[in-house]
């Protein structure tokens, strides 16, 4: 069994913190009532959602890679 270095623990913790913040952003998007009155408004809402979910996916992948390395 390999020992976790303080650096790897810090990296995993930082990824967890970033994930928590990204989830908060997604909840904020979900809870914010947005007036969509034209295609541009719909596109902007979709871009915000995709940006937030892509960020979560990237952070989760990074965390899983970090955990696999450990």
Residue among 65, 57, 63, 62 nearest 23 (CA): 57
pLDDT, one tens digit per residue, over 55-64 is: 999 999 999 9
Count CB neighbours of 4 within 10 A.
12
Phi, psi of 15 (to 5 degrees): -65, -40
Quick one: pLDDT at residue 36? 93
Average confidence (pLDDT) per 10 residues, the chain, 70 residues? 65 95 96 93 95 98 92
Quick one: pLDDT at residue 34? 87
The model's pTM is 0.80
């Amino acid at each position: 069994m390999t020992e976790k270095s303080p650096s790897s623990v810090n990296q995993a913790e930082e990824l967890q913190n970033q994930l928590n913040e990204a989830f908060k952003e997604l909840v904020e998007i979900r809870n914010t009532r947005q007036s969509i009155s034209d295609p541009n408004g719909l596109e902007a809402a979709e871009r915000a959602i995709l940006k937030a979910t892509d960020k979560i996916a990237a952070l989760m992948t990074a965390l899983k890679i970090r955990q696999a390395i450990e």
